[in-house]
Structures are given as structure tokens and as C-alpha cells.
Amino acid sequence: MEISKCCLLLLVASSLSYIVCSTTVSHDGRALIIDGQRRVIFSGSIHYPRSTPEMWPDLIRKSKEGGLDAIETYVFWNGHEPRRREYNFEGNYDLIRFLEEVQNAGLYAILRIGPYVCAEWNYGGLPVWLYKIPGMQTRTDNQPWKDEMQNFTTLIVDKVKEERLLATQGGPIILLQIENEYGNGDIEIRYGEAGHRYINWCANMAESLVSDVPWIMCQQSDAPQPMINTCNGFSGCDGFTPNNGNSPKIWTENWTGSFKIWGSPHPHRPVEEVAFQVARFFQSNGTVQNYYMYHGGTNFGRTSGGPYIATSYDYDAPLDEYGNIRQPKWGHLKELHASVKLMEKALTYGEVVEDHLGNGLTITKFSGDGIVPGCFLSNQNSTVDATISFQGTNYFLPAWSVSILPDCKKEVYNTAKVKTQTSIMVTKKDNAGDQSKDLRWSWKPERLHDSAKGFGNSFTVNKLLEQKTTTVDASDYLWYTTNVEVSKKESFTLSVSTTGHILYAFVNGRLVGSEYATGGTYNFIFERKVTFKPGKNQISLLSATVGLSNYGAFYDNTPVGIVGGPVKLIGKNNTILDLSESNWSYKIGLDGEVRKLQLDEERWYSGVIPTKRPFTWYKTTFQAPLGSEPVVVDLLGLGKGEAWVNGNSLGRFWPNFTANPDGCKQCDYRGNFQTNKCQTACGEASQRWYHVPRSFLKRGEPNTLTLFEEAGGDPNQVNFQTVTVGTACTSAGEGDALSLSCQGGRTISSVDFATFGEPDGTCGDYESGGCGSDEAVAILKDACLGRESCSIKISDTIGTSCAKLASPRKLVGQVTCS
Ligand code: GAL
């Protein structure tokens, strides 16, 4: 951030002098105006609790290097106020430290307070204790809700002000958000008139807290003034115009990919598509654009919402889950940012003239007195390439691409012409050693019998309770236990109707079966044959949630658990014994959770380690991998549960939930994007690798990995690896430079393929083609071997063995980093 021109030297009463560098932020219908200048702003989302404070400076630095001006984050209410009026602003919830890191890097911040945030975050960010407040109805014109929302919003604003973090105080925050996508779909409509009143109240409340930094409301077409309504989505805010002539066009969520779901393949969004939409946004008068996500990160602990959102929140973002640079996404967008910035003045002050040539071709010119004109040439046709003749020059535009001509003459960038290297990330054991053989496991059974009997804090009522309101989300697990008397040995079908997400049924302490909701439907009926002994029999049902709902009108009322049932015993001749109103005893959480086994130093069992045994705790010690590359633990072989390193939760794991085998077809970036268009890992574990942040690890002394295995698994294959660039490929044409680089101090150890011209295949899988391969390989070896990075200028003297190859020459290369 530039030092503001409005720095004021103030004399305070004590006669000490200090400098207040305040930045003014306002807007008109054209742009955000910072210190009197209309600006183009590139921003990216990094959610602070999805990484660690130790990772923040590096993530922010890489964001800045990638050409961002601002970092956006939500504020996560249920992380900050886990119990009413008990606050947590420590560790990865240290919001102030995060904002200070943004400021230290010289970037702006966009703070989306919500405090409803959606975000694939548990319960959309709302604390479950809200339920306990009499008369509570969230996100509407309801006094108890408004009191709580205002209380938390005020707390955050006060904290931020205390630390002088608003731009007008000299801090980084240039925009604030209240609520989130309340106007989406039929959400506001379903809250009725009260919903409208609520949105007006939100606007007034926000404005009363801060009036000199603009507030936004996303996806809120009726946003009351002075709130700026903004848009979210994949396609460049197509057809979106703010509801007021004084509001600039802001794209709050440009989804760089999507979130991972247990049991689904991994979603990807090609950078050519992202860049195309960003360029079109600026072509159509956009001025503030935020990548959701720029770094997705990890849902540590039990923070994922959804339900069924995986622990990895990688999002296919420009920085991967672990903080590595994802190429070519990061680099191609970096070039885009630099190219758009070259015409910032024209975009924000120029007059716009659009020329539609037909077939999806458009020329847009921004020009004015004393301004260097800037142009976009776009081809929105999803299949047909085109050549546009403009001011006497021909410009080649691949289908679904935009060219940027910052002086309306020279094309400096085309969204489909990717020059950045492709990096294929790999996991490596070289720094970690082959630990799978060395890891010595010990184990403990979860004390099911005691839990099933209602041992510990338990209570009894004669109905089937809703789970999250009973546990207040203190655990994923709730035990429902009842007794049934029969006079003789008898068989029944036990039938349990549940709203999910997972059910385990025990009769007389023995597991008789389990089931989990699949395919996005969370209601299911579990049925199993059971046999009762004469006398008293015990039925224990363990219901497990996998993150609470986070989206939709009244989403917070979505029931979970065996609420209301019915739970029935179906006997011979279809006789039905309805147990729904029997005496049910409840126990919240697992015994091991209550006893905090992940911190437990007491004796565990060693010797033969049971495998495929549900409800088992495992523990091992390991040495931290050397170096500084990100560390992951491979949990293939395990079923479902939670993992901890040195007491820090890595999140839920579920490697035995494999993705649908279909749906990973070849991906064409051209044409409108949907999340299932470009998927990988079909038929594989939906998440096999789990991030172990370096700050969770101790160097030179043993670290402890604890696993709670709920479904039954085998820890013997578990091992630690590091993540780095394995293979890098790129190509460059005459006049350009071919650049390749490794990461994490690794060097180029071999040149695996090189040629002039167009080879067959893709990075990691080139076959043949082009010409002069021997010469091309020799050139790359000479320039790159043994180096962390290399760059080769492509001139007309290069590739002499391909002299007959038509100009322009192109060099393609693939190398290994190790
Ligand atoms: C939006 C929402 C975000 C996030 C996103 C999907 O609708 O505002 O918080 O949930 O969808 O990743």
C-alpha cells in the first residue's frame, strides 16, 4: 500500500507527536476511490483459521507476489465465541494478528464479518448455543438474534478499531461486509416481510458502527443504501449491475475451483477459464475482483460444514492447501493482474465504447483525454477460434478467450495462451524416510460398554432428541440407549429413521450394523435383523454428524440425529413395537473424547495391533520430516475418524469413502463452467492425504500421532511425506523466454523431454512430435540441470537442426525436480 498522502502529523496533549496515516475510502458508480484515486483492486480470500499463524506471512507474501492488492477473509463467529461470552482470539483464530500480517505486507484487507458466513464452515459460522436462547430465530427480524448478531459484530468492529485497522485509521481494511448472500434464490423471500426488515436493520446497524469505510452486501439486489450490493459466482458477474448508480461493480466471490466433498472426485477449474471470466469482468466495467479462494487451506478439527465437506479445503486455488504455488494457475493470473493494471487509469476514468462484431466477438475500448487508451478483444464463442482485424492489425483469438491490449495496439496477454509452467505436485518420502516400517503402534479400545450403558454424564427422557441441540455441538457423537424386555429368545427387524449423518447400532453391547447417508440425502432408514435374549435387552444407537448444514433459508433448523425417529422393532407377522417414546438415556461424546485420549500419556496396549476393528484408538510416535516443505500424512487403509498430531486436530479423516468412479472425463475449459466439469481422482479415496502444518511438529524429538478409528481400519500403511513439485513443463515461442523452476530448494535433476514445435500428449505424459529433440534436450540440460530455476531466451539462432521449421519457433520442455 502506498503511504497515504493524507498523513497527518498530530500533536497530542502530552506533547508527544505521532503520525496518523489515514487512507480515505469512498466510491462512485465507477470504482472504489482510495485516497482520491479510482482503483482497480485484485483481492483473494484466505480464511485465517484454515491455516496456522506460522503459515500466514508466507501465504500473504505469495499473494502479493501473485499481484493481489488485498486479502479477503470472513470472520468465524463459532470459532471466536465457542461458548456464550467466552471468547477465543488465539492461535489460528488470532484475527488481529492476521490483519496485521496483511498490513505488514503492504496489502489492503476486506473483512466480511457476516457473522453468518456460509463458507462450507460448520453451521455457516453460527454458534450452536444460539439455540439455547429463548425465542431465538436466526437471520431475521427477531430481537434475540439481532441482539446476539449486534453483540458479536460490535465486538469485532471494536477490536479492529482498537488496533487502528480501518483504512481511515491508517489500517488495511478498505471494505466491510455484513450478512452473506441473504438475497440468494428464495432465501429472503422465505423469511417474508421480516426478512426485508432484517436487511434494513443490518444496514443501519453496520453503518452505525462504521461510517467511513464502505460496507458491502453480497448477492443482495435490494441492499439498502449506502450498502454496496456485489455479486458471487463463476461467470464474471454476467448481467449484474449494482442496484444503485453510486455503487461500483464488485465481484466478491470468483470461485477459483470448488470444495472437496467426501465420496466425490476432486473439482478443478482451469486457469484459462478463470482468467477469461476475470478479463470479461474488467471488460464490462468491473473494478474490484476477489478470488474465492486464493488459498483454501484445511478444515482443522470439526470445522467443516455442509455437511459432508471434506477436511481439505484446497479449492483448486492458486495457492494449494499446503501453501505451495499452484502452477500454471498462480502465474497465469499474476500476468493477468499485471496486464490489467497497465490500463488501470483507462478502466477507471475512460469512456467505454463497445463494438460487437457478431459470433461472440467484441472490441471494448476505454479512452479519454490525457489517458492512454486500453482495449479488450474478446471471443465468447466456446468452440470457434477467430482472427479480429483491429486498427489495421490482425489478432488471433482462441475460442473462449480475451486479449488485453493496454495501449490498444500490442497484445500483452491472452487468457487462453498460457506461458507459465505447469507443475505436477508429488508427495515424497526422501526427507521423511520410509516410516511405515518404523512406526510402532499402540492402541486402546473405545469404552463402548460404559457409554452404551450411559456411563458418565447422561440423562434420560422419553423421546428421541435432536442431536446438535442436545450436544450443543460439543462432539460429533450422541448415544441414544433404551431397554426392551422380551419373555423368550426372539428376532426382530430393528428400524431406525434418522436424519443422519451416520448411525451405528448395538444390541447388548454388540455392534449389529451401521449406515451412512450417501448421495446428498441425509434422511435414511436403517434396518437390521436383531435377536434378543429372554429378559432385558439393551439397544444403543450411536449417531454421528459430519459437520452441520451451512446454507439455505432456515438452514440452522435442519435436524440431525434420530430426532423423533421412529425407532421400531418389527416382529413376526409385521407386529410393530414403536420405541420412539420409550425411556431413552443419552450420552454426549465418546469416552475417549471426554478423557482426551489425544493428549493421554497413560498406558496404551502394544503387541499385536488389531485392524478392521471399529471404535479403536491408535497412537504412534514419529520424527518430523526434515526441511521446510509441507508435511502430509497418508491415511490410506483407515476408515473414518479424527486424527491429531501432538494434540492438534488435523480434522476428520475418511479415506475409505471413495469417489464415484465416473465423471472424470477430459476437460475442455471452453464454455460455461460447472463444478463437475473438470474432475480428477474418480474411484479413489476422496481424501487420502491430511495436512500436518509444520508448526504442529517438534524437531529432533518424537511427535505423537493419535487416530480415532470409528469404522475399522488398518494403520500399518500410515506414513509421513512432504509435498513438492515433481515435474515441471513449459513452452515458449520466439521472442519469449522459457522458464522452469522447482520449489522448496529442490533442483532440476533431469530433462525428461524437449522438442521444437508441437509435441503430442500433455505435461508428464509427452509422447513425441515436434523436431530436433536431441538438440532441444541438450539446450535444456545445459541451462537447467542442477539449478532451482532456469530461463532460456528463444531466439532465431536456437534450434538450428530445425531450421526448416516454420517461424515462430517454439521450445517445449519437461524436467524433474528432486
Ligand atoms: C457462496 C458463499 C461462500 C461459499 C461459496 C461456495 O455462496 O457465499 O461462503 O460457501 O458459496 O464455496
pLDDT tens-digit series, residues 419-474: 999 999 999 987 765 555 579 999 999 988 777 665 566 899 999 999 999 999 99
Mean pLDDT taken over the chain: 93
Confidence of residue 306 (pLDDT cuts 50, 70, 90): confident
- CA 356 / ligand 1 centre spacing (Å): 33
Q: For residue range 364-402, list pLDDT tens digits in order.
A: 999 999 999 999 999 999 999 999 999 999 999 999 999
- Neighbour tally for 666: CB within 10 Å: 5
Q: For residue range 341-363, list pLDDT tens digits in order.
A: 999 999 999 999 999 999 999 99
Residue 3 is predicted with a pLDDT of 39
Please report where in the chains the cell 463458507 appears, as a residue: 119
Q: For residue range 755-795, list pLDDT tens digits in order.
A: 988 888 899 999 888 888 889 999 999 999 999 999 999 88
Residue 4 is predicted with a pLDDT of 45
- Which three cell numbers, joined as nine digits, stand for 202? 443490518
- Neighbour tally for 758: CB within 10 Å: 11
- CA 282 / ligand 1 centre spacing (Å): 22
- Which three cell numbers, joined as nine digits, stand for 763? 505435461
Round to whole Å and give the CA distance between 363 and 354. 6
Please report where in the chains the cell 493524507 appears, as a residue: 6
Asked whether 251 lines ligand 1 (CB < 6 A), one says: no
Q: Which CATH class is domain 425-446+594-722?
A: mainly beta
Residue range 282-309: average pLDDT?
96
Angle, nearest 10°, between helix axes 329-341 and 271-283?
20
DSSP state of 436: H
Q: Which of 75, 116, 177, 181 to mutate to test the pocket of ligand 1 (most atoms within 8 A of CB)?
A: 181
Closest atom of ligand 1 to 315 CA is 12
Asked whether 310 lines ligand 1 (CB < 6 A), one says: no
Round to whole Å and give the CA distance between 448 and 446. 6
Q: Which architecture, in CATH terms, is 5-342?
A: Alpha-Beta Barrel (3.20)
Confidence of residue 500 (pLDDT cuts 50, 70, 90): confident
Residue 20 is predicted with a pLDDT of 60
Confidence of residue 810 (pLDDT cuts 50, 70, 90): confident
> Could you tell me the CA-to-CA distances from 725 to 120, 150, 275, 635 in Å, in that order?
28, 46, 23, 21
Round to whole Å and give the CA distance between 705 and 718. 10
Q: Is 321 a catalytic residue?
A: no
Exposure class string for 720-731: b at 16+ Cβ within 10 A, else e = bbbbbbbbbbbb
Q: Is 344 a catalytic residue?
A: no
Query: Cβ distance 514 to 532 under 8 Å?
Result: no
> Could you tell me the CA-to-CA distances from 234 to 23, 252, 256, 499, 706 in Å, in that order?
32, 11, 8, 32, 39
Q: Which CATH class is domain 734-817?
A: mainly beta
- Neighbour tally for 646: CB within 10 Å: 16
Q: For residue range 243-279, list pLDDT tens digits in order.
A: 999 999 999 999 999 999 999 999 999 999 999 999 9
Residue range 682-706: average pLDDT?
96
Residue range 629-651: average pLDDT?
98
- CA 120 / ligand 1 centre spacing (Å): 7
Which residue minimizes the CA distance to atom 6 of ligand 1? Answer: 119
Residues in the chain: 818
- CA 220 / ligand 1 centre spacing (Å): 14
Closest atom of ligand 1 to 181 CA is 8
Residue 9 is predicted with a pLDDT of 44
HEC string of 666-722 equals: CCCCCCCCCCCCCEECCCCECCCEEEECHHHCCCCCCEEEEEEECCCCCHHHCEEEE
- List the catalytic residue out of 81, 188, 253, 775: 253
- CA 762 / ligand 1 centre spacing (Å): 33
Asked whether 231 lines ligand 1 (CB < 6 A), one says: no
What CATH fold (topology level) applies to the domain 448-589? Answer: Jelly Rolls (2.60.120)
